[in-house]
């Protein structure tokens, strides 16, 4: 696990990381953010959330 991922998990906890991914996915679905703006550490989770929501096409770089 990369050091940045460990630090991120320590700061926000696993639940906080999930909530941040959900927030990013919501902002992308609302058109306020793009997938390219998502922090690298959250991209996999955000992509999965978008696909599960039927918005997988929004997970393009």
Summarised one tens digit per residue, pLDDT across range 8-58 is 666 666 677 888 899 999 999 999 999 999 999 899 999 999 999 999 999
How many whole angstroms separate alpha carbon 32 and alpha carbon 22?
14
Region label for 60, one of left (φ > 0), alpha (ψ between -120 and 50) or beta (otherwise):
beta
Report the pLDDT value the prediction gives residue 2, as an integer from 0 to 100.
64
């Amino acid at each position: 696990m990369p050091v940045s991922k460990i630090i991120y998990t320590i700061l926000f906890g696993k639940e906080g990381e999930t909530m941040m991914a959900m927030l990013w996915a919501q902002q992308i679905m609302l058109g306020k953010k793009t997938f390219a703006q998502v922090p690298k550490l959250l991209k996999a989770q955000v992509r999965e959330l978008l696909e599960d929501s039927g918005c997988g096409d929004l997970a393009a770089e």
